[in-house]
Structure 1
């Protein structure tokens, strides 16, 4: 299985990057997980020609080629980062690679709530007509107090959280397989018309 992990922040020091790196390593026998950074991408500016810049196009191509996507988001002011929102705006406005793509949302935060409000907001955003991802239902992974969550080798220290993550990841693998089989057998996959202008 081929998965893409999106680091949902432009911060150079992020426990969400650490979380995805741990997921990439811990589940390497179950999936090939490539991590994508968004910190050097341009801010969305709604170009008239609807052509994605190079960095956006590269991430879009990787999403299209993947079986599923994992997005790990911090929480800034009760929501996702501006950098992640900008990426999603670029994707919805141009290439729309997330249409019908299975997505798992994870998140780490320095506080105790583990980016719960940002994750809820991200679910709403991914359900927008020009994104319309297939978000894994009734499942989330929240990592609170994340600055103390990893050891020097980058492993999660709390075995209970490891077991929770393993359960979530196993469910996501099954969700990806089932979703993609349904899409392969469907003759009417929903596609949005590229007419959204935010005006």
Structure 2
């Protein structure tokens, strides 16, 4: 099973990138997670005078070819980062790779609530016309106090947290498999 892990911000250091990297290293049985950055995407401009940037096309092709996508979003001011919104705007405008694509939303934050507001907003965006993703309901993995959750090697240290992440991810794999059994219309 091929999954794209989309880093939901463009920061040089990101606990969300660290979470996706951990997932890519930890979940290796019958699954490959390729961590994809959004740093290089230019600011979205709906101008038809300029062609869609090659980096947007390349990202859209990777997402379209994947069995599913995990988006790791931080929470900035109770919202998703502008860089993630920019990425989604490009993808909904240029190629629509999320149409009917199974998507799991996760997030890591320094605060107690994890990324609850950002995840709610991201789910709404992913369900909008132009994106039309199939977002996994429930199984929302929100990692609060992220700085204390990882050791120096980038490994999650709390057994209960790891168990919950594993349960959520296994449910996502089942969600992808069920999606693959449904005939395309």
Instruction: Give distance in 1, aligned partners of 2:117 and 2:94.
Output: 27
Give unpaired runs (5+ residues) of structure 1: 189-199
Deviations 1:16-52 (A, max 9, x none): 0000000000001231110100112101011215842
Residue in 2 that maps onto 1:78: 78
Residue in 2 that maps onto 1:191: none
Q: When the two structures are superposed, what TM-score results if normalisation uses the length of structure 1?
A: 0.90
Q: Does 1:34 align with 2:34?
A: yes
SS at 1:155 equivalent: coil
Structure 1 residues 1-199: aligned runs within 5 Å: 1-48=1-48, 51-182=51-182, 185-186=183-184, 188=185
Instruction: Give distance in 2, aligned partners of 1:147 and 1:39.
Output: 22
Instruction: Give distance in 2, aligned partners of 1:91 and 1:152.
Output: 34
Deviations 1:42-80 (A, max 9, x none): 010112158421111111010011000000000001110
Runs of 4+ in 1 over 6 A off after TM superposition: none
Q: When the two structures are superposed, what TM-score results if normalisation uses the length of structure 2?
A: 0.97
Instruction: Give distance in 2, aligned partners of 1:94 and 1:7.
Output: 19
